[in-house]
Amino acid sequence: MFDVIAERLRQQEKEGWTTEHDDAHADRSMALAGACYAMFASVSDEARAATNLPAALTVDRRPIIGWSAWLEIWPWERRFWKPKDRRRDLVRAAALIIAEIERLDRVAFATVSEGSADGR
């Protein structure tokens, strides 16, 4: 759990992914990115070591269909896909999912606050 919190803080402090930045991702892409890292963590260490990820891409830099289907739904530019080891990928997945939960909570709070301001 501490590693997940540390990763979330790293994303904010080192990467600069502020709450304002996260709020711009109303397209659910943070949840999808978290799911991609979690899915990739299910791939065995042997398969990860045997796969040349750049070779899994077509000429137009779109992923091909196969065991790398998780990359087909990756929501952002390919350069932001940075898998590490299985545990690290799960930590990153959890931190991205927390970021999406925080974003949803801010949206819900803003909606309630607007309703209160309107006298509803």
38-80 per-position pLDDT tens digit: 988 888 888 777 765 554 544 455 554 455 667 778 999 888 8
Structure tokens at 75: 């929501």
Cβ atoms of residues 69 and 112 within 8 Å: no
Q: In this predicted model, what pLDDT tens digit does every residue of 102-117 receive, in sequence order?
A: 999 999 998 887 776 6
Q: Number of folded domains in the chain?
A: 1
Average pLDDT value for residue range 76-94:
92
Torsion sign over Cα 62, 64, 67, 69? positive
User: Residue 91 and residue 38: Cα distance in Å, rounded?
Assistant: 9
pLDDT confidence of residue 58: 44
The boundaries of the domain holding residue 108 are: 2-117
pLDDT confidence of residue 57: 47
**Residue 95 binned pLDDT confidence (cut-offs 50, 70, 90):** very high
- Please give the model's pTM, rounded to 2 decimal places: 0.78
Structure tokens at 15: 């990467």
